[in-house]
Structure formats: C-alpha cells, structure tokens
Amino acid sequence: LICSCPTASKHTRPPLFHRHMGKDDVTGPSDSLTLDKTDSAAVPITTYTATGEEPPLSSAAAPPAAVSPSRHDDHVPEDRPDREVDHEAVDVEAASPRKKKVNFFDRLRGKSSGSDSSSSSSSSSSSSSSSSTTSSTSSSTKRRRGKGRKTAFHIQTREQILEEFNANAERGLTAAEVAARLEKYGRNEFKGSGGLNPWKILLGHVSNSLTVVLAIALILSAIAQEVIEVVVIAVIIIFNVSVGFFQEYRSEKTMDALKKMSSPKATVIRDGQKEVIDTGLVVPGDLVEIQEGDQVPADLRIIQATNLEIDEAMLTGESVPAIKTSEPRETLAEPLGDRVNMAYKNTIVTKGLGLCIVVGTGMDTEVGGIAELLAESSSKSEKTDLQRRLDKMGYVLFAFAVILGLVVLAVDKFRFTEGSLLYAISVGVAIIPEGLVAVMTVTMALGVRRMAGKNAIVRKLAALEALGSVTNICSDKTGTLTMGKMTTVNIWTPPQNTYTVSGAGIVPEGTISQDNVPVEPNNLPPALNMLLMSASLNNHSSLTFKEDGASWVSTGDPTEVALNVVARKIGIVKTDLEANARLEGELLFDATIKRMSVIYRLDEKSPLLQYVPRDGLLMLCKGAPERIVTACSFAMTNDGVIPMNDFMRSATADANASLASNGLRVLGLAWRSIPAFNEEMPRDSLETEMTLIGLVGIQDPPRQESADAVAECQKAGIHVHMLTGDHDTTARAIAVSVGILPKEDLRSSRSVLKHSGGFRPDAHLRPNHHHPMPLSKSQAHDWHVMTSHQLSKLTDEDLDGLSQLPLVVARCSPENKVQLVDAHHRRHHTVAMTGDGVNDAPSIRRADIGIAMGVGGSDVAKQAAHIVLMDDNFATIVVAVREGRRIFENIRKFAVHLMCCNLSQIIVLLVALAFRSADGVSIFPMSPLQILWLNLLTGSPPALALGVEEASKDIMTTPPRPKSEGLFTRLLLSDIFFFGTLKGVIVLCTWILMLYGVGNGTSDLHGECNEDGPIENKPQCELVYRARSVVFATFTLLILLLGYECRRLSKPLVMSNPFNNKYLNYATIFCVALAIPTIYIPWINDEVFRQTIIGWEWGIVVGAVVVYFVLCEIYKFIKYKKKVDLKYRNMKITELREVKIKPKKNKKGQQAQTQATVQPEQPTDVIPTSTTAVPPPTDVIPLPGPTTLTAPGPSTQDNDEPLPVL
C-alpha cells in the first residue's frame, strides 16, 4: 500500500539530474513514490487518489520494506534489463488533502475536475499483483476524445501500446482498418471556430452603444421629418461602422491561419507497404516513420528510435531539441518536455529516425486541445475597459437625452407640437457626442497603420489602447527575449585559457578574443585551432549562404550549427577539411553515455597532422563534459599534451562550473588516435584514453534590443516576467543579462532578498503549514526565480500571499502560465502575455493583451493573440506600449474637447427655454442642423488632430494608469465642467447681448422663427437669425480654440509651442473656411441653417473668444503651479527615503540576517577535485611534429569516477 501525504513527500524527494549531450536537464523533485521491483512481487500495490478523505488501511497489507523515488532515466539500467513499468505513479499533489487536482483544460475553463486516474485507481485497487495493476491501468484508462484526451501513453510499454490500438509493428494497419478508423475518428484536422466570419465582425461594430443611440436619434429625426438631420446621422453611422469593420476584417484575414497548421505528407506503413499519404488521412494506430526534416503528423508514441531528436519549442519552449527514446516512463504526471518517448503534432524532427504508433489525431492531439480551448473562448467578450466604459457612457447619455427631451416637452406642457418635438430632438442630439465614435475609430485605425509600419499587426482596434494600461508583461524567452538561435559564446582550453566569441545567431561574423585581444585566424593557438577543427568535422549540420535572399540558412541540430558557425568565424570550413580527410565511421550519440564520435582517415595534406600522429585513424568525440573527462587520460595544451592529473581535473571542473553558472550549455571535445576501426569493435574500447581538447559554452543569446526594452518597461512602471521551458540556471542567466533580475543575482541570491525589501518566503504561510516548495540552493532566499514544480505546488492562497509574483519561472508549463495570469488578475494587474509556441496560446488568450510572434510563432498563437509582432522583437512591445499610452492620452484629450462642446450646447439650449415668444413658444438659439454641424464638422476635425498628437516627453516615465481608472478622472471631469460651462456661459451671453442689447428682448421673439423658410418671408425674425449667426460663429471659434487648449490640459498654452501640431492648424483653417459660407451664402444660411448675414457683430464674437482664452489660461496656470509644487515635494520625499539607514543589530551586537527555513537541494553528483593544492604539471608531452607523437599511456584515474553535473 502506498499512501501519499505532504509530510512524506517533503522528506522523500531527493533531487534528480539527467542531461543530454551536456545539456543540463535538471529535473525537479519527483511527483511520485514507487516500489522497487523486488518488493512489488511480495506486496500488491494499491493506489489511492485524492478525494479529501484518508484511504482505508488494511491490516492484511503490510507496507513495503523500501520506498524509493522514481527516476526519469532515458534507458534501462544495466542491473535491471528486464524492467517493466509495473506500477502507477502516485501524484503527491493529488493525494494532498490541501488542494484538489484540477485538469489543465478544466482549469482554463474555470472548472474543477477530479484526477483522470480515478478510474485507473479503482481498477488497480482490485489487483493482487504488479502485473495485474499494469493490465488494469491499460484497460481502465479508456481513450477519451476531445476534452478528456488520455495522456498516459508515455508510461505504457511498446506491447501495451500495440495491444491498445490493435496495431502491428511490422505490417501496420490494413486498408479495412484504416477506413473504419477514419470513419470513427474523422480526418486528422483541426475543427476550429469555422474561420473568418465577416457578419460577426459587422455585428460587433453595429451593436456599439453609441451607434445604437445614434440610430435612435435617426429614427426620431425621421419621425419629425427632418430630412437633413436624418441624412447626416445616417452618414455618421455608416462611416463609423465601415471604418471599424474594414480595419478589423483586414487584420483578421491576415491572422486566419489556424487551419494552415498541417503537415502536407506523412510516411506510414500499411499492409506491410510503405506509403506517403496526406496528413489528414492518418488515423490512430497507424505505423508512422519520421526522419530528419519531417513535421510530426500527429501525436505519436515512439516504439523505435535511432539518434532521434525533435524540436518541441512550440510546445515546451525548449530552445534545444529533445532527445527521444522508446523506453516507457515511470511518472504519469510528467511535463510534456520530459516525455521523451512521445512526439507531438506539428513539431519538427531535427535528427535521426523513428518508428511510431499514432495515439492522437486532429483535436485529440496536444495542439488540438489548445486549439479547442481557443475556439471555446473565442465566443467570450473581449472588450477592453475603455470599450465597456464607452458603452456604459453611451447608454447613460441616451438616458440623459430622454430626460432632457421630457423636460423640454414638460415646459411646453406636453402639447407635442412640431416645434416642441423638434426642440426636444435638438436637445437630445446636443448631448450625444456623435463624433466621439468616429474620431475614436479613425484614431485607432491610424494607430494600427502606424504600428504596422513598426512591425506590429493589431488584430483588435481596442487592443492598442489597452496596452497603455499594462502593468505586467509575461514573456516567453526563446525567440522573444532571445534570438532563438544557439550561439557559441565561450571556449576553454587546458590548462586555463578562456576565449570569448562575439557575434550571435547563424551569421558567421565575429571574433574570438582572449583577454579582450582578438586572436589572429592565421596564428591560432594550437589547442584552439584543434578544437575548432574538431568542432567542424564532428558535425552533421550545414550552413549555406542564399544569394537570392542575401541571408544565411542552416540545417541540422542547433547545437551543431553553433559549433559550425564558430569555426566558420575563423575561416575553418568542414568541406575544406574533408578534402584531406575521409570519414571511416561514426559512433552515434547515445543518451546513456552522452557522447558521439566520428572516425577519419587523414592524408598527408591535412592540417590536423600538425597536432596528431600520422599513423592510424583519428577519432573526434564530443558530448557531456563529465562523460568526456572521465574517458580522457590526457589534455592538450598550447605547449603539448599533459596527463589528466588532479590539477587538470580541478581546472576542468572549475571551467565547467564557471560556464554553467552563466547559464551556458557546456560541451566537451576530445580526440584519440586509433589503429583501426570496424563496426564490430566495442564502443568502450574506442572512447577511452582520449585527449581532452577543451570545453565550449553555448547559449541562446539575448537580443541586443531586449535589455534596453526591459529597462524602458521598468522605467515606465511595467514589470517584465520571463516564463520559459529552460532550466533555472539558464533562465536566471538570461534574466540577469536582459535586466529582469539584478546583476547580483548570479553571484548571490541574497541580494534579491534585499532587493525585495527583506521578504521572507515563508512569511505568508499559516501556522503549522508545511512548506509546499523544496527550494534549490540558489533559491533558498529568492522567490523571484521559481521552477514549474515549485509554482505548481502553490495554491491560489499561497500565491496571493507572496509580496511579489516570481519574475522568472523555469521549466514553465502551459498551466503555470495561466496560473500566473490569473494571479495577476486577482491583484488587479493588466497583463500582456507574449509568446510564440502553441503552449503560449492559452495564456495569450487569457491575458488582457495577447502578443504573438509573427516570424517564429505558431499559427495557433497568432490566432489567439490581439497583437502580432512581425519582427519577433521584444523591443517592438515597448513601441506598442508607448503607442498605446499615446493613443489613450489623446483619447482623453479629444474626449474632453467633444464633451465640452456637448456640455456647453446643453447649457445654452436649456437656459434658452426661458426665452419664449409672446405665444409661449421657446425660440431656438441654434437650429438642429447647426448643432450637428458644430458636433461633427467643427468639433471632429480638431478632435482628429488631437488623436494624432505626438506623445509627451514623460509618457514612458509615468506609471501605468490603474485598471479601475476610467476614461474620465476627477481632474478630467473638472476640466470638462470648467471649459464646457465657461464656453456655454460666454455663448449664452452673446445670445442675451444680441436679444437685449441690440434688440428689444422677448418682443422680437416669434414662433415662426423656429420654422423653415427664407428670411424675406419672415422679416420679424431677422434679429433672431442674426443672433443665431453670432452664437454659431462664437461656438465655432471657441471649439477651435479649445482644441489648442486641450493639447496640454495642465500647462498654459503660452508656455509651449501652440502651433507645432500641423494637423490641428489645418483643421482650424478648414473649419473656419467651411463655417463662413454657411453664414454668407444665400438660401443655405436662412433656408438650411436658419441664420443670416452679420457684420459688426464679429466684434462680439472676437471679444467672447478673448475672454474665453484669458480665463482658460488662468485656470491652467493654477493647475500647472500645483503640479510643479507636488513634483517638488515628491522629489524631497524621495531624497529623504534614499538616506541610508544602519542595519539593526541583535543583542549580541551582530547584524541580523534572514535565515532560510528550508534545506536546499544537494546535488547527487559532485565535481571530483583535489582537497589539496596541486601545482601545475611539469611533465608536458610536446606537440607532435610531422612524424612523431608520444603515445598516450594508461589513465591516472578511474574512468568510472563520477564527474560534475550542473
């Protein structure tokens, strides 16, 4: 009986290390407890899953004598060649009563489900032996479609897989079986959301609240038979909808690429014959062959693998291809990246051959599950806060319009005359900002075009605005912060020579320097020259220059490409070397020994002969440093060959540790002269007594722009989080290099504790609450860096209790990314998620703003994203954030401008109700068409000019606006109230001045002045028509003047350059030129606008403009002075906070220090170094001349001694 509990798991999880070709795959603590085979035969295994209750104890079943953690080995241990997977993994997290295990896809949907292993548990509990347990596991875990995809194939043996799918490993499926399965499971295709739907996009724009309000105004105008108003409002609606629709339609059309994710052909074996078929015809149970360059056609279980490596970066984020085997795994709850016997749809084979069984097609693949999730969530509302607030504002304004209309009708005692209805409609039209939607749509569209010129495609117009409020960016590492290309950055040769390589990517440009002095390609140190030639020859990659595209193209394993490129930087080309060397044989890479070798026969002209003997064959070996060094008896220096004594082992171990501490993938290179070679010779007899050439440090380097981009984000108050599939050492190094973590982080994680204000990792835990996360040594004091295993063990309450969410998550899984996005949302953060792989798609969809990579990104990620970066450059995100902030700042400017116009019109129209004719009819100070003209043709052009206003200088030095902060803050509302009320009062004064100063007051008011008709037929209305012209002219100039005032709402116009916005200057000239003819052209002035020609009255208009300008400047000067005083006070407070405070001391006078509460993990392997100082060797064997070389002797150290793992 195995019972799992938090206490037991806390003490029985030693760290586990394994690596491929020197890559440090440091696996986190195992999630399972297993029985040794010798014990399982005597004690039946019973597995219980978590239900919140304790499992029943049986007195008949005694506990096993020994319980050992399961190891994630890539091969069958030599002492257990007959091992089978005869047990189920017990998920410690699932067995913990603290938290119920939640399926990943159910978690994304906000649901909770039990463990998928419950049915397996019930079956296995009735078994009486380990073999029966395995059988019940296979039979009870039925293959479920869609949301319930089975994920236990990696723990099943080859025989179990073949039995479950009724497949034959020799002949494959028959034609009848293929037809039946194709009918049952369907084609191997994604069933997405149905592609691009133009009607859905159109409906989204038609259902906009302000558009609905305008439609209602159009209907009321039609009822009142105001033809001109109906036409104008209809044009507004059509313009708003068409601009938004076509912009979004073009963006969606470019991103409608989900169905493009299909491999065109697949190689299958059916009826014993090999066939090449369309990928869509692959069915579960098919026998599929994959080889280098293939795109995996479906989810596969590998049953045979020969030197097979697959690039799974799109799913796991790993920049290095995964080395595949066919052996079953032991742990059920393994991350995708650790399931080395599985191949997943749409990943790329980079090396080797594989024979596989199809276990999932179409929507039943890992990629299909994510596509299904995106299709389900695509129907959810994706409106931003601004859109929701504008919708709310539209309905509120409509409600106010109805209320004001009722007020107008109430004043007229609800007589519903033509005049009262027309006046009510005019008031309703006045309060609705008809131009707001049009101006906002055009501003967004111009922002989209501007971003397209800066390598960003915006799929949703509102996404660009929402970027301005982003507080946290969760970014993938590979291809986003880094170049996505493995690059050699450091070289070490014995005894202590370190070289730095410049240049990044696959372009063979750069230098190799020692102590900042470039080495001469024609005068290379012997050891360095030998290392580069060995790296070039022991290599299967290719590097070619495409003349048509003027670019370099590489094929093969990324690590070998990096070795090829560094050799080419010095001018060493493999084809040149092979002209004097013939390949005699190859020892393929073996994951068990983590080495590979090639054997060459050299002719007399080979440059290698200056370092190696002429007789025999030359074997070149590369692999994991610890496996290379244990097989070496000598080391090559620039002066000759020396024995691999304690000094050299210590120096090699130090160099290995130094390179690894910087997050580099380390490879060792060695050579040996052998007399002969044939394929029957034991490998152990060949790869021994070799001569160490040196070590090579390789990494996926950061982009040059990433550090500056991260720094600008931090300056803008935006926190950058890196979520990567790489290990914590690599992740930490990259995070430090781009500025996400402080530089001291690599030297001491304690500095990060100080940086976070002395936060104790266990401060948030409840009393007697076991610590959920075993921390590594480098993380005992630093929760800025977490692994996927550590993060997964935290409940939502634990995560919310942290003072700050982790800045770096290593070995990150898709669930971790969604977990962090949700944690940010609970903290009311606005999150932007960037990524390129399929594994990023759920979190991209879940985030407030999803950003996908256009060049290296998967189509699923692009489909889920709001913004797609066409250059895959993290720095473009900063440009997008700047643009988003600029757009929102400009939206506020023209919103203030337009709302002030509406407020002033309402003041004038409502107060004008008191100006009644002798027959009791209220006289309009403005006609309905004048109101529409002012709102659209006079108010909109300056608002559009404000929409393209350049960003202020401090736009990226201010923190993001709070998520709860709407479009209108208290300060903006006060601005709207002041500017709008002041404008309305001044315009109303001109109306009163014309009626009472020029005319005789109400005696000159007549009811027919509200009706259509030429002024010649209504001479008694001349004064009213002239007064309307004054009101219209004053409104026009004040609206244009307010456009300049709104450029800097907190800075007087006289303190800045008011005319450096050329578009605003053009808009002013255009509006003035357009307004004057409406006053002076006959028929248009009186028949359409119900106004007439004015002359000396322009003096009243100019006086009103001067008064308005002076009062606005005084108001803004008061605001500006308060802002400067507040900034000065904040500077003083900052200076006081920067005063250093001495650390507190305890009673013994010692400085207090924060103690770790969790013991750090200890490595299972150690670097063998001498405990005493060993002097440098003096017994140097000279480098061989043309004919002589001292033959290697026996090794000075046991080759089985373990060497370092990082």
> Catalytic positions, please?
476
| CA torsion angle 658 662 665 666 (round to 10) | -10
Q: Are strands 322-323 and 299-311 parallel, antiparallel or unpaired?
A: antiparallel
- For 134-145, the DSSP string reads HHHHHHHS----
CB 446 within 8 A of CB 948: yes
Distance from C-alpha of 1129 to C-alpha of 1126, rounded to nearest angstrom: 5
**Structure tokens of 433?**
């900002």
3-state SS assignment for residue 1181: strand
As given in the structure block, the two tokens for residue 212 are: 């609905």
Are the beta carbons of 282 and 177 closer than 8 angstroms? no
Q: Which residue has the tokens 């996009």?
A: 201
CB 912 within 8 A of CB 924: yes
Neighbours of 249 (CB within 10 A): 14
Query: Beta-carbon neighbour count of residue 1109 at 10 Å?
Result: 18
Q: What is the spatial distance between Cα 779 and Cα 54, in angstroms, rounded to a whole number?
A: 33
The answer to whether the beta carbons of residues 865 and 442 sit under 8 Å apart is no
CB 70 within 8 A of CB 32: yes
CB 351 within 8 Å of CB 305 = no
Closest Cα to residue 364, out of 186, 493, 199? Answer: 186
Tokens standing for residue 788: 């996927």
Which residue from 846, 847, 883, 852 is spatially nearest to 716, judged by alpha carbons?
883
Which strand (E) or helix (H) includes residue 1045?
helix 1022-1045
Q: Which amino acid is at 311?
A: D
Quick one: tokens of 327? 């052996």
DSSP 656-699: HHHHHHTT-EEEEEEEEEES---TTS-HHHHSSSEEEEEEEEEE
Gap between the Cα atoms of 626 and 971, Å rounded: 66
- Cis check for the bond before 495: say yes or no (omega within 30 of 0): yes
Q: Which two tokens stand for residue 586?
A: 């190859």
Are 2 and 65 contacting, i.e. CB atoms less than 8 angstroms apart?
no
Q: Which single residue is written with the structure tokens 């410049």?
A: 502
Instruction: Name the token pair of 785.
Output: 């860096």
Distance CA 515, CA 398 (A): 73
Largest CA distance in the chain: 126
Tell me which residue of 1076, 982, 958, 1082 sits closest to 1038, measured CA to CA: 982
| DSSP summary character for residue 848 | S
3-state secondary structure 609-647: HHCCCCCCEEEEEEECHHHHHHCEEEEECCCEEEECCHH
Separation of alpha carbons 992 and 1008, rounded Å: 19
- Which amino acid is residue 115, in one-letter code? S
Contact 923, 917 (CB under 8 A): yes
Contact criterion met (CB below 8 Å) for 656 and 665: no
CA–CA dist 1201, 1197 (Å, integer): 8
